[in-house]
Structure 1
Amino acid sequence: MNIKNNLSLMLVGLIPTLGLSQQGFQADYFNGRNFEQKIHSRTDERINFIWNNVPPVAGLDPHIYSIRWTGVLKAPESGDYLFRAHVDDGIRVKLGGRTVIDAWDLHDSEAFTGTIYLHAGQEYSMEVEYFNALFEGEIQLYWQLPSEAPVFKGMFGYNDHPIDPSHIRPPNPAPVQASRLQSKPVLPNPKPAATTAQPARQPKPALVSKDTLEKYLPKNVFFVKSKSILLPESEPELNRLAGFLKRNLMYKLRIEGHTDRVGNTEKNLVLSRQRAQSVADYLIQQGIDISRISTIGYGDTRPLVLEAKDVPNEKNRRVEFFLEE
């Protein structure tokens, strides 16, 4: 009896080590917006992350990175599936080689949806690509099964939720062993010979293409009403920008000031210039060399939202940052 019980305990203890049906996504983490430098691989059970100016994994640039999740999804039922992604910045989702969501651009905590018909019991290759270009990163991927579609739409929204890892597995059923096998041929394989030369560059931080950070509209830069005095609430945002510029000496910053169309046009032009200069002065106080900063004001001539004269619009009262090489 004791032998039988001991044998049972031994078998139970072995099950986790055999790597049977490990579930979730194969996750590959890269420096750079476009998967330039692979840093780390692991298995993520779900895609549901918020990184507030911290690197998702050790060794990754905390602000400029990209991630590719791959897996095999087994559909639990037949019908139209809704996928919804909440991201900051860009995302692409493919199922069975078909694009479900394509929002590969800079976004500020925005939601995107897509639908696709899947057959119960059938397995589909799944790929989710994501990039973050500046400051905090966020990605949350949800799905809604056909049977969960809301009867009443509109204000009731969606019945979606994170994808249960029991429905998805990494492309290889034994990802730990597979990574060891892959680590051997990467070096001698003649095909990736061109890529083996890339790590020699080891950009630290990863080099960012100009279009990645060409335009940045800050979320939390505020001024005293009708004045160019920065409010204290602006400091965290500007401190993050100053830290980024200190770590990335290859970039220069152009600051543009804008107003809405309320009041005198000439006074708006002056105010926009003064606000841009106030931001520049703050960054200089934080240690950014004055030679790396330029300012310009456009007053009310370049609105984000078209408005009637003397109709206030907070979206048009703004500063914009342009990072240039």
Structure 2
Amino acid sequence: MAWLTDRRLRELLLAMLALGLPAAPARAQAPLPTGDGITGDYYDGVEFDRLVLSRRDATLAFDWTHQPPAPGVPAEYFSVRWTGWLVPPASGRYVFHATVDDGMRIWLNDKLILNEWRPQPVRTFTTSIKLNAGEPYRLRVEYFQEILDTRARITWERPDEPLKSPPSSWRNFWGRTAETPRPGPIPTQFLFSRNPRPVVARPAPAKLPSPVPRQSPVVARPAPVPTRPSRPAAPPRRPAPAPLAPVAAARVEIQALPPPSVLLADSGSTARLSGLGVGETITLPELYFNQGQAVLLPAARRALDGLAAALSARPTLRFEVQGHTDNVGNAELNRQLSQQRADAVCRYLAAHGVAPERLRSVGYGGTQPVADNADPTQRPRNRRVVLRRL
């Protein structure tokens, strides 16, 4: 093939095109799913003190003009936490603009990309991040309002639709009176209350072949050499019995066991949720929190993914999700923090297919320690989440 130079190869390709040979069909891309909005939890109090209601909001663009944001929620001194998923329509860098009064925080895949958490007049903040088209990103937005204006608005600039000024012409005095284009709110079709990524079923484990017994070779023992007796001959000895051949082992079928419901990482054992009696509890060893925070850590999210799958397979089970803290700091603030941690677990499970009415969140603060709070190495064990069957 040495004679097939680059030039010759190009000539052959041109000849094939001239003959009208069909080209390889382009690979079709899967259409993007359509979103249903984002879940908003509305609280009385600026620190998520008392949950009033949960609803699905179409987008994140609100100006309540000194009016209550929802029935039962006060017009001032309230807070909102929106949770869901964002699916970008194109790959590239997105620019997010947050117009807020008073405070706002934004996370994408648990990465804090904007933090303006303080009382302030109406202001606009900007942040940018690279995103991949069609990939679900876990979105969380927190907002609190004290007094005066009530503004919580998030807009974006897409990489596939950059903002462009209108062309200059005599109509706008050659650009002098042209309006600057403004970014718009995130459309509902890109916001999801649940993860839109399909769940891929895991293949069943392959059945192991049955063990084949190994035959041990039979070694013949040499016959004893007869000796001349010096006294009357003794009765002849019975020949030593030949070693028995090993009995063939029975064939054993090794069957794969079903996957456990919950894996307790600290003990290596498994606990089945359906085997719990009413009132019995399970402590999830990977559901710990950093001190003073209610943010789910990566290890906790992996444990909750398995828990959500187990609960989805058993739709009749109901649980109380208990939040616990250590005893450092104010007892009432610890109780509120433990309630926020229990709420975070319930929201995550609800976002992964578990019906909210099957879960009840309760915060116990530091009233039920399981480790010595005086020992800094043991204290993190008290920042935990417990499931009690109802």
TM-score (norm 2): 0.40
TM-score (norm 1): 0.47
- For the pair shown, the structure with the greater C-alpha radius of gyration is 2
Higher relative contact order (CA 8 A, sep 6+): 1
